[in-house]
Amino acid sequence: MTAAWVLAVVVLGTGMAVAADVSGPALDYTLNCQGCHLADGAGTSGGVPQLAGSVARFLAVPGGREYLARVPGVAQAPLDDAATAGVLNWLLERFDHAHVPADFTPYTAAEIGRLRRAPLTDVETARRALVRRFDAAP
């Protein structure tokens, strides 16, 4: 009786779980970004910036749009320009929908191609300068 109870609970628990299919920008994020930025975009304190609830704030400050396409993770991603634009547009919506400006136009492959060829040499300084302007942004 008791063994059957436990078994039933275990079977119920494992039976419900099925490996999820992942494709498109979500797959590109999983394979190329998630290792450090984590599945929920939380990042790692002191090392990897958080995406969740803040990444789209860069779009509201001058230079922020360009910054997002030039950070190391984006500029050096082993993805072509179109796939990189796709994953960047996807993660802005996925992790910070609330801060995506109403007039936001998605990144294009050509724009990513142009920006990633001028990568940032001092990311932290550039980031601090932009973050300081967050509160003044609309």
Partner 1 sequence: MRHDRSWIDRFVERTARDVARRTSRRSFLTRLGVMLMGTSALPLLPVARAADDARMPAPDESRLTGDVADPKSCHYWRHCAIDGFLCACCGGSASSCPPGTEMSPVTWIGTCRNPGDGKDYIISYNDCCGASLCMRCDCQRTEGEKPVYFTSKNNDLLWCFGTKSRAVTCSVAVVLGVATKS
Chain residues binding partner 1 by CB under 8 A are: 2, 5-6, 9-10, 13-14, 17-24, 27, 30-32, 34-36, 38-40, 44-45, 47-48, 78
Using CB atoms within 10 Å of the CB of residue 43, give its burial: 0 to 12 exposed, 13 to 18 middle, 19+ buried: middle
CB atoms under 10 Å from CB of 87, counted, come to 26
Residue 10 or residue 110: which is nearer to partner 1 going by CB? 10
Q: For the CB of residue 62, give the shortest distance to partner 1 in the complex, in Å.
A: 30
| Angle at the Cα of 96 from the Cα atoms of 95 and 98, rounded to 5 degrees | 145
Q: For the CB of residue 32, give the shortest distance to partner 1 in the complex, in Å.
A: 7
Instruction: Compute the radius of gyration of the chain from its Cα atoms.
Output: 19
Q: For the CB of residue 112, give the shortest distance to partner 1 in the complex, in Å.
A: 18
Residue 29 or residue 65: which is nearer to partner 1 going by CB? 29
